[in-house]
């Protein structure tokens, strides 16, 4: 039970003379935080250029991120890939 509802009950039951919270509206203390969970075009291009410049080093993490941004595949799909899933002779 909130303080407002307790005082309203006290007013209805006659323990207090007026409903002091009658015109008060509750304001949420929660603040909505906006989190940007995407890259803008400039940052995307910077990341893409960096990953392509590092592609010859065969770092699995860099390849994973590059595949993610180029294909849009979900993380679980990318992690389930095996080297045998790729036919590099056919270009893909």
pLDDT at position 90 is 75
Q: Which ranges constitute the DSSP H helices of 2-74?
A: 3-12, 41-53, 60-71
Token code pair at residue 65: 């991120």
Q: How many Å apart are CA 47 and CA 4, to the nearest integer?
A: 53
pLDDT by position in tens, the chain (length 92): 678 788 888 888 888 888 877 777 777 777 778 887 888 999 999 999 999 988 888 788 888 899 999 999 999 999 999 888 888 787 65
Record the pTM.
0.53
pLDDT at position 91 is 62
Digit-coded pLDDT (tens) for 38-62:
889 999 999 999 999 888 887 888 8
């Amino acid at each position: 039970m909130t303080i407002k509802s307790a005082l309203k009950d006290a007013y209805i039951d006659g323990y207090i003379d007026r409903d002091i919270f009658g015109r008060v509206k509750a304001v949420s203390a929660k603040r909505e935080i906006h989190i940007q969970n995407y890259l803008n075009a400039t940052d995307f291009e910077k990341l893409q250029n960096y990953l392509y410049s590092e592609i010859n080093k065969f770092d699995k993490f860099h390849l994973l991120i590059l595949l993610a941004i180029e294909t849009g595949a979900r993380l679980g799909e990318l992690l389930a890939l095996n080297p045998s899933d790729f036919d590099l002779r056919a270009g893909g």
